[in-house]
Amino acid sequence: MPNNLKIALMIIVTLILAGTMGFHFIEGWNVLESFYTTVMTLTTIGYGDFAPKTRGGMLFTVLLVIFGVGTMLYTVGLVAQIMVEGRLTTLLGRGKMEKAIDRMKNHYIVCGCGRIGYLICKELAAEKVDFVVVDNNPEVIQKIDEDGFVYFRGDAIHDKCLIGAGIKRAKGIVCVLPTDAQNLYVILTAKELNPDIWILSRSEEEESEHRLLRAGANRVMSPYTLGGTRMAMAILRPAMLDFIEITTRRQSLELRMDELEICAGSPLIGKSLEESEIRQRYGLIIVAVKKDSGKMIFNPVASYVIQGGDKLIALGEEDNVSKLSQACLV
């Protein structure tokens, strides 16, 4: 609530209390009659059934009208202004978001923006990947609006919300709603609306994982399993965990591990790793290659021939990773 409205309401309450007590002591009316007369006076209705009889009561009424009626009119106008401006802001904001979503293609949809969903959104935003958040929590909407995230306000389990978020043009959808049942429903709906969409889902219960996969999710992850595994690694293999954190943390300036897809027309297609001179020119190590079929080749030999659709898992300095990424796409 704006401060000026708070002050105006406090003044009105004070005037009502003062008017009630004034009429009670000056005119001798009971509290209810005094309160009734005060309200009728401030609202300028004045039915006329109660009127001051004494000179003091008349002067008091004049002062109450002078100070009170103006304050009442100001407060009513202020409330109307806030309501109109709030409505206009909502409408304009909604129109702006709809236009932003309409311009998107091959974007991601994040269903649910709780703690995990928000972290996903921050990572996508840092990578400058287009995405739309679908959530209906007013506090969440306010927070992501302040962060500048594109959002569609509504419940992700409803078809119209997914359609409004552009699911038919989307590349992938991330289901991080509070329950497995909700995520399952979104997966089924998403596959119905866009059979080719890639789906990542959160799993709360271990036994739900296979159901989510059978429903159409490409990958299911449990934050509790991942967190527990990482904490165990901190105890059993701390050096390995340090290496993983260094290579996967965005803030790291030492090393970066990234996935680089070889697109059609890339000059690297048809060349072996040795002929591509990736190590010599970019100072990078190709840790693994993921084939288009899903097969993973670890520690590929120098004679491995790069093919279109391959995803190179490269390790090295961030600038060099970015340079190789451009070479893969050109």
- For the segment 17-33, what is each residue's pLDDT rounded down to a tens digit? 988 898 888 888 888 88
Arithmetic mean of pLDDT, 114-122: 92
Arithmetic mean of pLDDT, 294-307: 90
Q: Please, which residues have CB within 8 angstroms of residue 303's CB and are 6 or more apart in sequence?
A: 272, 273, 274
Arithmetic mean of pLDDT, 245-262: 71
Instruction: Tell whether the model's pLDDT for residue 202 goes beyond 90.
Output: yes
Query: Read out DSSP for 247-315?
Result: HH-TT-SS-EEEEEE--TT-TTTT-BHHHHTHHHHH--EEEEEE-TTS-EEES--TTPBP-TT-EEEEE
Instruction: Tell whether the model's pLDDT for residue 251 goes beyond 70.
Output: no
Give the model's pLDDT for residue 187: 96
Determine which of 37-46, 207-216, 285-294 has the lowest per-residue pLDDT on average: 37-46
Instruction: Sketch the domain layout of the chain as residue ranges.
Output: 3-96, 104-226, 254-329
> What is the pTM for the complete model shown?
0.62
- For the segment 218-233, what is each residue's pLDDT rounded down to a tens digit? 999 998 888 888 899 8
Q: Pick the more confident residue, 300 or 81.
A: 300
With b for 16 or more beta-carbon neighbours within 10 A and e for fewer, the 260-275 pattern comes to bebeeebebbeeebee
- What is the topology classification, in CATH, of domain 254-329? Alpha-Beta Plaits (3.30.70)
- Quickly tell me which residue has 């409205």 as its tokens: 5
- For the segment 125-179, what is each residue's pLDDT rounded down to a tens digit? 988 899 999 999 989 988 998 898 999 989 999 999 999 999 999 999 999 999 9
Phi, then psi, of 297 in degrees rounded to 5: -105, 115
- pLDDT band with cut points at 50, 70 and 90 for residue 91: very low
Strand, helix or coil for residue 177: coil
- What is the topology classification, in CATH, of domain 104-226? Rossmann fold (3.40.50)
Provide the strand spans (E) within the chain: 108-111, 131-135, 151-153, 172-175, 198-202, 219-221, 256-261, 285-290, 296-298, 311-316
Strand partners, 131: 108
What is the β-pairing status of strands 311-316 and 256-261?
antiparallel
Mean pLDDT for the chain overall: 85
- What is the topology classification, in CATH, of domain 3-96? Helix Hairpins (1.10.287)
- pLDDT band with cut points at 50, 70 and 90 for residue 2: low
Instruction: Tell whether the model's pLDDT for residue 277 goes beyond 50.
Output: yes
State how far Cα 147 lies from the chain centre: 8
